[in-house]
Structures are given as C-alpha cells and as structure tokens.
Chain A
Amino acid sequence: MAIVIRCLEGRDDVEHFDCGDEPLNNYLKRHAWNNQEKSSIGISYVAVDEGASRVLGYFTLAMASVPREAFPKKYVRGLPPYDLPLILLARLAVDRRFAGRGLGRALISEAFRISLRAADDVGCRCIVTDAYRDRISWYAQYGFVPIEGTAENGPQRMFLDLRTVRAALRP
C-alpha cells in the first residue's frame, strides 16, 4: 500500500473517513472542500492510497498573523517592528482503521515541509496548533511547547519555532 499526501480534491472519498472524533470527521466531510475552494480559509492535505481517492488522514493549514500592537508592551521590544506571521495547523486526524501505522507522523512531516516552503515564500515565524489535551504529548515530541494562558477546559494552544524545524534538516 503506497500512501501519497496531496491537496484535497473534490472527487476524494471523504464520506467513509472516521477518526473517532465527530468535529474532525464533520470538518472533512462538510467543510474542508468548501473552505478550500470557495471560502479560501484553509487548505486541507489528505493521505490517500496511491491510485485511490479514499481519505485515510488529513491536516489543514492556514496563515495567520498577530498584529504587533496586540502584544503586551513589555514584550514588544524583543520583537521585530512588524506583525508576527504564523502558520496555523488547524486540524490533523487519522482514520482509526489506519491508526498506529505512522500515518500521523507522515502527515505532520508533510505539514512541516509545507510550512518551511511557506516560510521561504512569504515569511513565517512559527507554527501554532490547538491540541486536544490527550494529544499534547504527541505534539510535544516534535518540539511543540504549550502557550500559557489557554483555557483549562479547551484544547491546548501550542507553539513550534520554524527555526527549530529548519534546524532539524541540517546535518
């Protein structure tokens, strides 16, 4: 079975996707394609079996930025005099029938590569994601660190410096 990761296409079979989490299933089935093609508020990348179109896993990326004036004044001095550009890893999910086979790692690896390309093309400082509480350690193994101040009962916002990702490619 050869897996390829590519941009979501309209003909892809998303209806059978089941990662065990209804909001993540629902996003792929109902919103991902429209958000990508019509609203342009997120690009979804899917893992599919080569030659087939059944989605086995996916992640969604978008660009965002934090206006400089939004930062507390005492921190502004350490930042460049511009808005802070970042990449939002909005969603990442693997069909539970394919869990435990390294697909999540393949997906996040591709997300890192795309993020580096985006940083090369348009400039970007970091990757941010909102991780489910039981997935914090999974993201932490790749170097994501928790952003303090996230509500206790919601997902944990996490940060990964793109310089760290780039450093991982250096021999």
Chain B
Amino acid sequence: MAVKIRKKQVEAQAVNRPRKAKFQADIAPAEDRTVRLLKSELQLTSNTDFFSDAIALFRWAVSERKLGHRIVSEGASGERRVLVFPRLERVAPSLALPRVEIKWTERELESLAALSSAPDENPPTEALIRALRD
C-alpha cells in the first residue's frame, strides 16, 4: 500500500513539473558554421546554453528598442555605430512620418470618399498575405 502512495506522489510531481519546450531549426551550412564559431568563442558547450544566451540578448535588444533607445556600439576612438535591425524597428515607438499636402481632383475625392466609407474592407489578396506572412 505504501509503495502505491509513493508512486502516486512521484506521478503527481511529474505532472506538475513544467515541461521544457523543444526547439528545432533547419539552418544553412554557413549559419551552422557561425553558430559553432560563436559557441567556441563564447566557450559554450551546448546548444541549449547558446540558445539561452541568444534569447537573453535578443530580449534585451527588443526591450531597449521598445523604450525608443537606439543600440549603439562605441569604438575606442569614440566612433559610434548604430545597430539597424529591421525587425527591431517594428517594436520601436513613435514612428514619425512627415506630413505632406496632396492635390486632389473633385472626381478623385468622390472616389476616395466612396472607397473610404465602405463598411467592410476588401479581403486581402494572396500576394498581400504572402508579402506580410513570409
């Protein structure tokens, strides 16, 4: 009887323990070489540690960019280089596009008003979906 209780406790612990997610990626040979080189330079022995550090760095970069901070490296002589990473720019706040005036004809304004006041949007085209999801 005691054995059964112990077994149940062990099973319960196993159920409550958060499962580790597995991550698998197909990477190009050049990227594979880069990963190996970086692991060597950083003295990391496992892919798990490498991935964990990469996530930490990426998370920091995203949080900084979300605050509107630019990520800059500065050389010994004071030369600065700004990190430009398009995906990070997507989380940056306060996009400021300048305003311009556009000239419209009466007929164009009629057409624009008709298109803009449509109650529902047109469904996206396949090309648009692919452009945004790929």
Contact = CB atoms under 8 A, between A and B. Distances in A.
Interface in B88-111: 89-90, 93-95, 97-102, 104-111
Contact of A143 (B111, B116, B122): B122
A164 B112 contact: no
Contacts of B132: 109, 112-113, 165, 168-169
Interface of A is mostly: mixed
B128 A118 contact: no
A168 B110 CA distance: 27
Contacts of B112: 66, 71, 84, 128, 147, 159
B116 A42 contact: no
Given A6-B84, A63-B97, A164-B123, A147 B111 contact: yes
A148 B113 contact: no
Contact of A150 (B86, B108, B127, B133): B108
B117 A79 contact: yes
Interface of B: 84-86, 89-90, 93-95, 97-102, 104-118, 121-125, 127-129, 131-134
A135 B110 CA distance: 23
B65 to A, nearest CB: 12
Interface of A: 4-7, 39-43, 61-66, 70-72, 75-76, 78-79, 84, 87-88, 90, 105, 108-110, 112-114, 117-118, 121-122, 125-126, 128, 141-143, 145, 147-151, 157, 159, 161, 163-165, 167-169
Contacts of A148: 107-108, 110-111
Contact of B89 (A6, A64, A75, A122): A6
A167 B85 CA distance: 25
B129 A161 contact: no
Contacts of A143: 122, 124-125, 127-128
Contacts of A7: 84
Given A141-B127, A149-B108, A167-B124, A88 B84 contact: no
A63 to B, nearest CB: 5
A149 B110 contact: yes
A72 B110 contact: yes
B122 to A, nearest CB: 5
A41 B121 contact: no
A130 to B, nearest CB: 9
B124 A43 contact: no
Nearest to A3: B86
B111 to A, nearest CB: 4
Contacts of A150: 105, 108
A141 to B, nearest CB: 4
